[in-house]
């Protein structure tokens, strides 16, 4: 199939003359649908927000996403809604009317993105309270109106009468390829075909949500000769509870996995809500965060501390390795050229176990970590302790000296700071100085002790 077929504001489209490396935002604006704006081109401001229906026909599932980070072929088989598609017969949509009634707009540049985020929020049954409104709007920036009026509008959005729980499977499509301008986007519908393509094209880019790789198209204007997409593989979207673990498929998004993460690893779930915004979490994947091997990837310290295992597949077979062994250096992994990561398995927490994850950043929402820490403590005759940090080295690493200190039961603040300094020699950059990182990392150990009740007499020093 050499056409990208989707529905745009209720009208079927079949695009054949577009580069596969074109972002959805650029294409929309070329179609004169200029309500979708470019503010940052990196998924931070929300001005480019559109809504996708990713559910079944009888059970829609509306999700806000950043169009600046999506490639055009990712729209295949979906219903796409932009701000131009909300009004009917000249009548504004209720969320638009609410913004007008609450004086929720001034210059108007950010308003279409807010409208689309609010529209997606309006389709769900979440409470219209401060917490949920904040989460729904965290991916949208306003620089002149201020948020009070916008939040007031959100509080007045009625909850829809029919249930839109999104449990139905997507209708899906057959395997397909789109070729144009000397570029190719392939979306196989079986792992076997994906492995064949991977073996034959080890230089191809593997594409899941694209929230990291998408910057190469939106910011660097890079063209991709061959993209292999995991987005058309139902088995890679599965999230399953087994007898003793949670299995997350490589194409499963943060949003899809979040309910079960909340159920089994509450602190991890709270951290995930600070990874980007809903727009990002509706596209981004755990596997993508792991494979990019960033030293400040938010999920990586958590996966290591929880003892997660990754499943790697190729035509040669399957191998499983601990997440701790998967990242081998700065932006380097243990993936062979013909392999793909197909699943991440996280063991459930045994009884008498405490797990906590902490993130230090300049902003609460949508900010890159200066330091991230994850702690695992299993109480036993000989406690099992894992302390893992991101932002402190060329990759996320366990802090061996800190672990030994915590196991000894004599972890004073001074001893903690000394242990951290033995484990890490962080860099100074625009996010934080090396000194700040060391002291913040030590402070997080003390916080874990206090919250765990393992050091009732600890003296907490100001950082």
Give the pLDDT score at 58. 67
Q: For 349-387, what is each residue's pLDDT tens digit?
A: 999 999 999 999 998 888 899 999 999 999 877 889 999
**Interval 233-256: pLDDT, tens:** 999 999 999 989 999 999 999 999
Whether residue 162 has pLDDT greater than 70: no
Q: How do strand 239-241 and strand 226-229 relate by DSSP bridges?
A: unpaired
- DSSP letter for each residue of 198-237: HHH-TTSEEESS-TTTHHHHHTS----SEEEE-TT-GGGG
Q: What is the pLDDT of residue 378?
A: 94
CA 460 to chain centre: 33
Q: Are strands 226-229 and 205-207 parallel, antiparallel or unpaired?
A: parallel
Write down the pLDDT at residue 459.
Answer: 34
Q: pLDDT over 70 for what percent of the chain?
A: 94
Q: Which pLDDT belongs to residue 379?
A: 87
pLDDT beyond 50 at 458:
no
Query: Do residues 97 and 157 touch, judged by C-beta distance below 8 A?
Result: no
- DSSP states of 362-422 as a string? SSSSS---SEEEEEEEE-SSS-EEEEEEESSSSS-EE-HHHHHHHHHT---HHHHHHHHHH
Task: Provide the mean pLDDT of the chain.
Answer: 92
393: number of Cβ within 10 Å: 16
pTM: 0.92
Q: Which domains, and CATH codes, for the chain?
A: 4-155 (3.10.20.30), 354-452 (3.30.390.50)
């Amino acid at each position: 199939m050499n056409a990208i077929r989707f529905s745009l504001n209720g009208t079927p489209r079949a695009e054949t003359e577009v580069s596969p490396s074109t972002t959805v935002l650029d294409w929309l604006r070329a179609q004169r649908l200029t309500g979708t704006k470019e503010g940052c081109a990196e998924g931070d401001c929300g001005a480019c927000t559109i809504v996708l229906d990713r559910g079944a026909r009888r059970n829609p599932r509306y999700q806000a996403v950043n169009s600046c980070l999506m490639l055009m072929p990712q729209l295949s088989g979906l219903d796409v809604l932009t701000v131009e598609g909300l009004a009917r017969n000249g009548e504004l949509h209720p969320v638009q009317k609410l913004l007008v009634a609450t004086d929720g707009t001034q210059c108007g540049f950010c308003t279409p993105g807010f409208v689309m985020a609010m529209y997606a929020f309006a389709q769900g049954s979440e409470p219209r309270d401060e917490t949920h409104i904040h989460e729904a709007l965290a991916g949208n920036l306003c620089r002149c109106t201020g948020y009070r009026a916008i939040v007031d509008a959100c509080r007045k959005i009625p909850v829809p009468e029919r249930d839109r729980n999104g449990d139905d499977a997507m209708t899906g499509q057959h395997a397909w390829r789109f070729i144009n301008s000397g570029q190719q986007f392939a979306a196989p519908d079986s792992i076997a075909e994906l492995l064949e393509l991977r073996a034959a094209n080890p230089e191809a880019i593997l594409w899941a949500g694209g929230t990291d790789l998408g910057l190469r198209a939106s910011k660097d204007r890079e063209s991709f000769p061959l993209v292999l997409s995991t987005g058309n593989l139902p088995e890679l979207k599965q999230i399953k509870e087994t007898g003793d673990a949670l299995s997350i498929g490589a194409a499963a998004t943060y949003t899809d996995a979040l309910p079960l993460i909340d159920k089994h690893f509450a602190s991890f779930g709270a951290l995930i809500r600070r990874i980007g915004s809903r727009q990002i979490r509706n596209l981004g994947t755990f596997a993508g965060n792991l494979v990019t091997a960033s030293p400040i990837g938010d999920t990586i310290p958590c996966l290591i501390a929880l003892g997660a295992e990754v499943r790697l597949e190729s035509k040669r077979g399957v191998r499983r390795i601990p997440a701790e062994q998967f990242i081998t250096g700065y932006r380097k992994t243990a993936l062979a050229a013909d392999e793909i990561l197909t699943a991440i398995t996280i063991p459930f927490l045994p009884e008498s176990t405490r797990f906590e994850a902490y993130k230090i950043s300049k902003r609460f929402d949508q900010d890159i970590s200066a330091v991230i820490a994850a702690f695992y403590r299993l109480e036993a005759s000989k406690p099992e302790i894992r302390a893992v940090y991101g932002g402190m080295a060329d990759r996320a690493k366990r802090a061996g000296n800190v672990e030994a200190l915590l196991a000894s039961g004599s972890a004073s603040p001074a001893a903690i700071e000394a242990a951290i300094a033995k484990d890490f020699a962080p860099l100074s950059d625009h996010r934080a100085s090396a000194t700040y990182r060391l002291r913040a990392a030590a402070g997080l150990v003390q916080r874990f002790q206090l919250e765990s009740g393992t050091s009732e007499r600890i003296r907490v020093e100001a950082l």
